[in-house]
Amino acid sequence: TPPHWGPRVVKDMPLEMVGEHLSINELYRLSWGAKNAHGEDWKRLRAQFDARLARMRKEAEKEGWLKPQAVYGYWPCQSEGDSLFVYDPNTMGNQEPTVLQRFEFPRQEGGKSYCLADYFAPKASGKMDVVAFQVVTVGPKPTERFESLQEAGEYAEAYYLHGLAVQMAEAAADYLHAHIRRELDLAPERGKRYSWGYPAIPELEDHVKVFELLPAESALGMRLTSAYQLV
List pLDDT tens digits, range 11-24.
Answer: 989 999 999 999 99
List pLDDT tens digits, range 53-109.
Answer: 999 999 999 999 999 999 999 999 999 999 999 999 999 988 899 999 999 999 999
H or E element in which residue 76 lies: strand 69-80
List pLDDT tens digits, range 211-228.
Answer: 999 999 999 999 999 999
DSSP 82: T
pLDDT in the model for residue 189:
83
pLDDT in the model for residue 188:
80
**SS3 (DSSP) at 81:** coil
Report d(CA 205, CA 161) in Å as an integer.
29
Average pLDDT rounded to a whole number, residues 150-170: 97
